[in-house]
Amino acid sequence: MEWEEFTLGENDAGRRLDRVAKRLLQHRTQGQAYSALRKGLVKLNGSKARPEQITREGDVLSIAAFLLQGKQANPSDAQEEREPSPQNAELCAAEKHAPCKIQVIFQNRHILFVNKPKGIPVHGENSLAQILLAHPQYFDTTSTDCESQTPHEKSISFRPGPLHRLDKGTTGIIAFSKSLAGAKWFSEGIKEHAIGKAYVGIAEGKIEREEEWLEEIGGKTARTKVVPLAYGKIFGAESTLARYEISTGRKHQIRIHSEAHGHPLAGDAAHGGKASAEKNTGKSRENFFLHAIEMAFPENTLGIPHRLRASLPEEFKAAIAEGFCAPDDIFNLENI
């Protein structure tokens, strides 16, 4: 019988054998993959192994060659090659000029942080993930911002990807995994509420004082702290430039809380925004201003700074300059 061998790398270590093998047998059903393990058609270091056995860096995974026949490309690989839909002109423009359109905030061998543009989803078809994975320079190890890096390893079971979400209409800082260690550290930090996330947005009406909003979203507790920064007008209506801090990460959390407290994001027609109803005719229902400006991290061994910030988009800066009686240094991120 012919065999194909795969040497496991750092990002394959510490995982169950069945989960690693399934990556190579994605064209097979789950039952077929487990049957192959039981019959010894998938071996670890030359021996039959249990599905639950934990892998180590340097292990050799052997798979009977016939099982790999008809193997389809890994979904992540296919995503890298897929061309963006011509219907999404904004994405096509970002795809064409990706190196200059998407700003890298920080990266090392574990995590990549970028400043997400407006109008691009994070996941799925025509997404930020698709753009980044299609352009290796976003995972480059030669950048001066990347200290103590080693080249990104090819892995059997691990693929880089987004570690959290931002709405299509939201801009700002977002993290992508580059190693299994980075993905685990970030996910645990989110789960334990150890990673702080701050946003700047423009809300309808006048938020007169600092408030804490606490309501359930989807049956789970959601907490949002809102601090007014400046008052003015947008879309011809009274508005507040505000800083939002969230210790939970529920889907659409800021937008839902803002609507519930009578201060929907200006232009957010999907969540109660009325001020720009006329302005939004024929436009996206996510024509609002919300920017993920900052992430704060606990002390760590991965080399991630304590605090990272994403610069405001020019469109957002223009809206502030035009509509708000704000001090000249409002654009200084230390003051937001």
Structure tokens at 111: 């995590």
- Bridge pairing between strands 161-162 and 111-116: unpaired
Tens digit of each residue's pLDDT, the chain (336 residues): 888 888 888 888 888 888 888 888 888 888 888 888 889 899 999 899 898 899 988 888 888 888 888 664 443 443 333 343 333 444 444 444 454 478 899 999 899 999 999 988 998 888 888 888 877 666 654 443 444 333 344 677 788 889 999 999 999 999 999 888 999 999 999 989 899 999 999 999 999 999 998 888 888 888 889 999 999 988 888 999 999 998 777 888 899 898 888 999 998 888 888 755 445 444 555 689 999 999 999 999 999 999 999 999 999 998 888 888 655 555 554 556
Amino acid at 317: K
Which DSSP letter does residue 265 get?
A: B
Q: What mean pLDDT value characterizes the chain?
A: 80
Instruction: Let me know: does 25 contact 31? Beta carbons within 8 Å.
Output: no
CB-based burial of residue 74 (10 Å sphere; 0-12 exposed, 13-18 middle, 19+ buried)? Answer: middle
Integer Cα distance of 24 and 68 in angstroms: 8
Which DSSP letter does residue 324 get?
A: B
Integer Cα distance of 320 and 322 in angstroms: 5
Whether this prediction's pTM lies above 0.85 is answered by no
Q: Which tens digit of pLDDT belongs to each residue from 26-80?
A: 888 888 888 888 898 999 998 998 988 999 888 888 888 888 886 644 434 433 3
- Percent helix, strand and coil across the chain, each to the nearest 5: 30, 25, 45
Amino acid at 325: C
The alpha carbon torsion through 256, 258, 259, 264 (nearest 10 deg) reads -120
In the chain, DSSP finds a helix count (H) and a strand count (E) of 9, 14
